[in-house]
Amino acid sequence: MTPNIIRNFVTKRATRRYPHEVRAPFEGARGELYNEIEKCTFCRICAVKCPSQCITVDKKTATWECNPFACVYCGICVDVCREKCLHQKCQYRPPVCEREIIFMKGKTKKTG
């Protein structure tokens, strides 16, 4: 045990003080969602396929919402979106104390 303690004193830390020290994300990292709301048709496919049921879509009010506290960042919603308007930022998800509900409002379509 003593050699381990000495080695730990003289070698670089294996961990980072996140979020104060942020590592550069690797290519293809799956971070927070964003929706190009002007392309969204509010079809609800992302909400139906989401395993965490954290997406809420309302076609009448043209709103799209995601709860990042329930999201597991799996990317299924991005894959199933036919309009290709849903994306994941290539950056690490923010710590819990900095997360906020992602709420986006598009334009309501006139009917009749």
Cβ closest to ligand SF4, residue 18 vs residue 69: 69
Q: Looking at this protein, which amino acid is placed at residue 86? A: L
For ligand SF4, the binding residue among 10, 14, 20, 42 (CB under 6 A) is 42
76's enclosing H/E stretch is helix 76-80
Which residue of 73, 87, 102, 104 would you call a contact of ligand SF4, by CB under 6 A?
Answer: 73
Q: Are 15 and 23 in contact (CB under 8 A)?
A: no
Residues forming beta bridges with residue 35, ordered by sequence position = 86
Binding region for ligand SF4 (CB under 6 A): 33, 35, 40-46, 50-52, 54-55, 57, 66, 71-77, 81, 83, 85-86
